[in-house]
Amino acid sequence: MKHPGKIRNKSTRVNSSGLLLALPVVLLFVVAQVYVGYKQREATEKLFQTQTVMAAITDLLSVMKDMETGQRGYVLTADPKYLAPFDKALRDVDGVITYLSALTADNIRQRALIDDARHLVDAKTAELQETIDLTANGDRAGALKIVDSDLGRSLMVQLRKVLKRMADEETYLLSTREATLKRTQIAGTTVEIVSLVLILAISFSAIRNFRRLLAHSRGESQSLIEAQKERAAALEKLRIHSDNQELLIEERTRQLAVKVQEAEKANNAKTEFLSSMSHELRTPLNAIIGFGQYMDHDEKLSPEHRDSVHEITAAGHHLLDLINEVLDLSKVETGTVSLSLESLEIESILRECIELVQPMIERRSLTFKFQNIQPGVIFADRIRLKQAVLNLLSNAIKYDVEYGEIELSGAISSDGKYRISISDTGPGIAEENKAALFKPFERLGAEFTDIEGTGIGLTLTQKLITLMDGELSYANNRYRGATFHILLPLGEPVFATLDDVNENDGEVTMSTLPEQLKTVLYIEDNPANLKLMRKVLAKRSKLRLLTAHTPQLGIELANTHKPDLLLLDINLPGMDGYQVLNIIQQTNELKTIPVIAVTANAMHRDIERGMDAGFAAYLAKPFDFAHLHDLLDAYLKGPNNIVVPAPSS
């Protein structure tokens, strides 16, 4: 019985013999290609040299003509302007001859002709210079006599003959070298064709031998069947000992369970250690940052020292950010992180995130797209959602190429959730790194670059999104870069709340306010102005303030709460203050409410237009606080009827 391994040995021998035959041919092909390539480069360089010499010969003749033209013009007119071409040609002629001599250094015939040309050029130059000197000294007749002597013409005739002989030599070399280049190219093509034919012949022979071996192996299939029977017998022997093996497997399973428990304990110990160390490191780090900021405000600090302080403060903030990430990860892993889930308008949160990363985007010269945002309300923790979005935006900015593009978009998905997408044009996620993408402390090769990080940002982001009943996924883009997707559940629509409650400033909610309180509604799209009004009215008592950042929301609040007074901005998005005033005046239940314009349109014609439109009063920005209080007193029947909660601490 033949052993099946013999068939494989025969196959190996066939393949080896084919390879041994092919290797010399391939080696010959490579050597021939290198040699032919060298010869082609050599022939090309010689051809170029010949063309350059012919151009230099033409240049020398042109320079001599320029010298002769300048000399004749000056001798005939005595005008110095004709000396300009002569002087330039005089400066150039030595350089042209030297360059021509260097180009023909390898040709003994050309070197002799170059020497003749140099002597003739020197003689012609001396003749021209002599006539110019005579003309300059007032002896124009002497100069013309030299010109009429025919010496100059004779020198130029001799020079042209020498240069023609040089040109004829180069023409002969040109034709010879072109023929050499052509022969070299033909030789290279011939070598390629012969080598390819030999390789194809060897390949055909190897394939034919392999087919013969394959046909022969079919007759030996019985040996393979017998070998399988032998293996089956061996397996039967192993089955007899299976009972003992099962006991061994059970023991090893128990040992593995113990190892798993030990690994879990070690992981918990690691998490507790990170959490403890993060807290301990924050105290000295806060001192470093604090004193760094204190020193930065010292006016006596030199620019050099101020730069050093900036470096210390920046490094401290970076280290503090890393510590906070580690602490957040430990909280998530130990289950001690707390969330405040609520219905949130997603667009405002995304805009806040963009403002925070805008300096990073500008430093890297990136293009940022934020236009495909579908309005929506999500159910999430505001702080943790911002943290997750900022982590993804920061990664996109850090790993994108310079002058790349970052895009942030959002839309309600087909499964009834809100999808936030962040894409970049960086290198994307390599296939071999996908499995470790969300593992803590995995930087996927970035540790060998100058990109800062700890490798826990994506891990923390995924865990935070999961805690908010969301999903984090990613995909490489079609051409370059990657896109990360956050999928979050939708929340209940947000209609209106007191801005006091929104800002968490300690004031009571609407449901707890007494019914006798006077209600003021302020419609304003600028957050800074809303905040200013809240601070101003916080000093009054018995007053309830409602705010709206859009005209539509303001009209809805007016219909719902019937305020005692309405403060209205003029320049509003989508609908201006005059349109809002007209709607109020056309609504029976609202038309008696006094409306005060609070606007930066302070020209006299603006005030007249406002009063003609029906505003009860016109308060121009920046407004006087006393004037505002006088208006409130007048339209709310005095400040003593109003109650206000204690200001926040």
* 255: CATH: 1.10.287.130
Task: Supply the pLDDT for residue 574.
Answer: 84
State the sign of the Cα–Cα–Cα–Cα dihedral 415, 416, 417, 421: positive
Same domain, 475 and 529: no
pLDDT at 418 over 90: yes
Structure tokens at 635: 């339209």
Question: What pLDDT, in 10s, does the model give residues 305-344?
Answer: 888 877 787 666 666 666 666 666 666 766 666 778 888 9
Q: What is the pLDDT of residue 516?
A: 64
Query: Residue 583's pLDDT is what?
Result: 95
Domain count, the chain: 4
Q: How confident is the model at residue 496 (pLDDT cuts 50, 70, 90)?
A: very low
pLDDT band (50, 70, 90) for residue 291? low
**546-570 residue pLDDT tens:** 888 889 999 999 999 999 999 999 9
Q: Is residue 225 part of a domain?
A: no
- Are 315 and 352 contained in the same domain? no
Separation CA 226–CA 234 (nearest Å): 13
* 454 and 514, same domain (yes or no): no
Q: How confident is the model at residue 444 (pLDDT cuts 50, 70, 90)?
A: low
- Does residue 641 register a pLDDT over 60? no
Please give the Cα distance from 537 to 558 (Å, whole number): 19
Classify strands 543-548 and 377-381 as parallel, antiparallel or unpaired: unpaired
Lowest mean pLDDT among 330-344, 361-375, 393-407, 570-584: 330-344
3-state secondary structure of 426: coil
Locate all alpha helices (DSSP H) within 364-414, ordered by sequence: 382-399
461 pLDDT above the threshold of 60: yes
CA distance 197 to 29: 11
Query: Of the given ranges (369-383, 511-525, 544-558), which has the lowest mean pLDDT?
Result: 511-525
**CA angle, corner 10, sides to 7 and 15, nearest 5?**
125
Average pLDDT score over the chain: 77
Residues 537, 539, 540, 541, Cα dihedral to 10°: 120
Backbone angles phi, psi at 633, to 5 degrees: -60, -40
Kindly indicate the confidence band of residue 504, based on its pLDDT and cuts at 50, 70 and 90: very low
Which pair of tokens denotes residue 515?
Answer: 């019914």
Tell me if residue 543 falls in helix, strand or coil: strand
Rounded Cα distance between 566 and 71, Å, is 97
Distance of CA 579 to the CA centre of its chain: 45
Neighbours of 427 (CB within 10 A): 14
Of the listed ranges 112-121, 257-266, 362-371, 579-588, the one predicted with least confidence: 257-266
Q: Cα 390 to the chain's mean position, in Å?
A: 17
180 occurs within a structural domain: yes
Q: What percent of the chain has pLDDT over 70?
A: 73
Residue 645: predicted pLDDT = 27
Output the pLDDT for position 514.
41
Closest CA to 482 of 401, 597, 548: 401
Tens of pLDDT along 71-96?
888 888 888 888 888 888 888 888 88
Give 119-178 as a 3 state SS string: HHHHHHHHHHHHHHHHHHCCCHHHHHHHHHCCHHHHHHHHHHHHHHHHHHHHHHHHHHHH
240 within domain boundaries = no
Alpha helices by DSSP H, 78-107: 83-103
CATH number at residue 380: 3.30.565.10
**Domain's final residue, options 337, 362, 394:** 337
Give the helix/strand (H/E) hosting 14. Answer: helix 4-77
Domain contains 68: yes
Name which of 413-422, 428-437, 493-502 the model is least confident about: 493-502
Q: Which of 337, 357, 390 is the last residue of a domain?
A: 337
Whether residue 385 contacts residue 349, with contact meaning beta carbons closer than 8 Å, is answered with: yes
What stretch of H or E contains 356?
A: helix 346-363
Same domain? For 28 and 160 the reply is yes
Residues 252 and 354 in one domain: no
Burial class from Cβ neighbours inside 10 Å (0-12, 13-18, 19+) for residue 238 reads exposed
Domain that holds residue 325: 248-337
Within a 10 A sphere around the Cβ of 618, how many other Cβ atoms?
Answer: 20
Which CA distances in Å does 361 have to 173, 322, 386, 422? Answer: 63, 20, 17, 14
Residues 444 and 515 in one domain: no
pLDDT more than 90, % of the chain:
15
Q: Within this chain, do residues 123 and 186 fall inside the same structural domain, yes or no?
A: yes
pTM greater than 0.85: no
Q: Which of 429, 460, 489 is the last residue of a domain?
A: 489
Does residue 329 fall inside a structural domain? yes
